[in-house]
Amino acid sequence: MKQPQAITAILQQLLEQCQPLYSQGKVADYIPALAKVAPDNAAIAVATIDGQIHTAGAADKNFSLQSVSKIFGLVMAMNRIGDDLWQRVNMEPSGQPFNSIVQVEWEKGIPRNPVINAGAILVADVLVSHYSASKSAFLTFIRRLVGEENIYADQQVYLSELEHGNRNAALAYLMKSFGNIEAEVPDVLAHYFHQCATAINCRQLATSLLFLANRGVQPHSNEQICSRRDAHRVNAILSTSGMYDQSGEFAFKVGLPAKSGVGGAIVAIVPQFGVITAWSPALNSFGNSVVGMQLISLFAEELGLSLF
């Protein structure tokens, strides 16, 4: 493995190399609160299970967690209701857009996996139904993982999501019509949009997910966050389904479990090594950060991190 200094130097170099790509994507504009983020921003962070953290770029600048929040919700729900979760959501890749309502209909209210929108809304239903205060429980969970308190939900993003959440409402009501949502739909959506609105930075995010690279144990606290088996399972799901309809291509090019969000973040898990996070707000047509994809792809190639 490369020396620490080497890693930081590589990150810095890759960041410079990717600057020409800033203009190739398009910042998410389905809600005003996201649309106003400047596209010429980028950061990359690498946290390793032996406690190192390397960064380049705006690694302390907050962004909106968006779909990356699905990982945390999933771990919380697995911890809370165990394998019962898999009676209500499948674990197969979807082959459909992330917000597909067609598939929920065909599969009678059972989402294909927990990282497409329908599945994440179902996970939100589990949290709302099993926690007295699921929104704060979610924040508490992330804060504990990072070991820092300054992680919060951006109220402006949250309210903006609520206002533009008709499609997610359709998904939730459709699942409820099949009997697969227990709580009231507005409560489920409120939790879901709240978790999506989490403000976090690249450095924090890399640290937070180290347990997935370390058999369920968070290195800095030595706390067992989830079972070894569940850590494997989350990585498996991210591997087949984490990058929207570019998951196959990401496996093909990078070969690591990963998850992206429309806030521009991407996380990649390197089992037994650590976590790579990248952030840059301009997205490609699949909803994945253009620069983020490139940064992680080049870094993984440089260090030979592909699982395959």
Q: Residues interacting with a second copy, by CB under 8 A?
A: 90-96, 101-103, 105-106, 112-113, 166-167, 169-171, 173-174, 176-177, 185, 231-233, 235-237, 239-241, 245-249, 251-252, 255, 257, 269, 271, 306-308
244 is catalytic: yes
Nearer to a second copy, 137 or 185 (CB): 185
Buried b (16+ CB within 10 A) or exposed e, 106-139: eeebbbbbbbbbbbbbbbbbbbbbebeebbeebb
Q: How far apart are CA 184 and CA 49, in angstroms?
A: 40
Give catalytic status of residue 22 as yes or no: no
Rounded to 10°, the helix 117-130/69-81 angle is: 50
289 annotated as ligand-binding: no
Distant-in-sequence, close-in-space partners of 97: CB < 8 Å, separation ≥ 6: 244, 245
Question: Which of 46, 128, 192, 270 is the catalytic position?
Answer: 192
Which residues in 63-93 are b (16+ Cβ under 10 Å) and which e? bbbbbbbbbbbbbbbbebbeeebeebbebeb
The answer to the question of whether 180 is labelled as a binding residue is no
Task: For residue 262, say whether it is annotated as part of any ligand binding site.
Answer: yes
67 is in an annotated binding site: yes
What are the strands, taking DSSP E only, across 129-207? 152-153, 198-200
Among candidate residues 123, 128, 262, 270, the one labeled active-site is: 262
Whether 262 is catalytic is: yes
DSSP 105: H
Q: Which is nearer to a second copy, 81 or 101 (CB)?
A: 101
> CB of 158: closest distance to a second copy in angstroms?
18
CB nearer to a second copy: pick between 93 and 264: 93
Given the residues 64, 68, 70, 157, select the one marked as catalytic. 70
Neighbours of 298 (CB within 10 A): 18
161: annotated binding-site residue?
yes
37, 64, 126, 244: which is the annotated catalytic residue? Answer: 244
- Least separation in angstroms between residue 241's CB and a second copy is 7
Element (H, E) at 283: strand 282-283
* CB of 16 or CB of 301, closer to a second copy: 301
d(CA 262, CA 95): 19
- For 289, which DSSP code? B
Residue 70 bears catalytic tag: yes
> Is 152 one of the catalytic residues?
no
Q: Point out the annotated binding site for substrate.
A: 67, 117, 161, 168, 192, 244, 262
Binding residues: 67, 117, 161, 168, 192, 244, 262
